[in-house]
Amino acid sequence: MKLEYLNKKNKEKNKDDKTKKEQEITLEDKESVVDNELNLEDEEDFRKAYPMNIRCKDGHYVRSLAEKMIDDYLFDHEILHVYEKKVTDISDEGTEEKFYCDFFLPKVAGGIYIEHFGLEEEKYLAKKERKIKFYTRNKFTLIITEQRHTENLEDYLDANIKKKIKEYEKK
């Protein structure tokens, strides 16, 4: 009886493992899905293409290793932060677009937004440009990080956050 139970459990586990493997998407597959089927300008498609599956020190789940580094930096420095705060942009033409900022620091310098731009695809770059115009038009405080900043991310964020605090205090 015990052997039958173990054999049944083993078959279920093997079936679950096979299902998980079939559902996994390799990085190469993910890139082709993004390029061929998803619209990176559409926030929901982007969120589907890049699921939150990387856990940070504070328990947040993020979409990339660079975002993990930023989140862990904020946690280590005891900076209250919100990951993927929903933001609504109403353009000059009156159209409404919703997007998610990467990080929002509500208690620092009247609120600082941090956007990490890690892709170089054409559609993603168009979205990047729209986001930057939104922050500029609304006079929101923004820190931009890119892949090149990850080598010295702590120094980069230290300097930029201090700079934004000084600018805020001068107002």
pLDDT band at 54 (very low <50, low <70, confident <90, very high): very high
Residues 6+ apart with CB under 8 A from 47: 100
What are the extents of the domains in the chain? 54-170
Residues 6+ apart with CB under 8 A from 104: 81, 82, 85, 111, 112, 113, 114
Termini Cα distance of the chain: 77
Give residue 43's pLDDT.
57
Give pLDDT tens digits for 107-127.
Answer: 999 999 999 998 888 888 888
Instruction: For residues 39 and 33, give the distance between their C-alpha atoms in angstroms, rounded to a whole number.
Output: 10
Q: Which CATH number fits domain 54-170: 1.10.10.10, 3.50.50.60, 3.40.960.10, 3.40.640.10?
A: 3.40.960.10
**Closest of 49, 102, 48 to residue 71, by C-alpha:** 102
Residue 139 predicted with pLDDT over 80: yes
Mean pLDDT rounded to a whole number for the chain: 79
Give residue 114's pLDDT.
98
**Overall average pLDDT of the 8-26 stretch:** 44
Task: Let me know: does 165 contact 85? Beta carbons within 8 Å.
Answer: no
Residue 41 predicted with pLDDT over 70: no
Task: Let me know: does 127 contact 156? Beta carbons within 8 Å.
Answer: no
Give residue 25's pLDDT.
33
Angle ∠(158,59,22) on CA atoms, nearest 5: 115
- In this structure, are strands 112-117 and 141-146 parallel, antiparallel, or unpaired? parallel
pLDDT band at 94 (very low <50, low <70, confident <90, very high): confident
Global pTM value: 0.71
Give residue 50's pLDDT.
76
Tokens representing residue 37 in the block: 């089927």
The one-letter amino acid code at 36 reads N
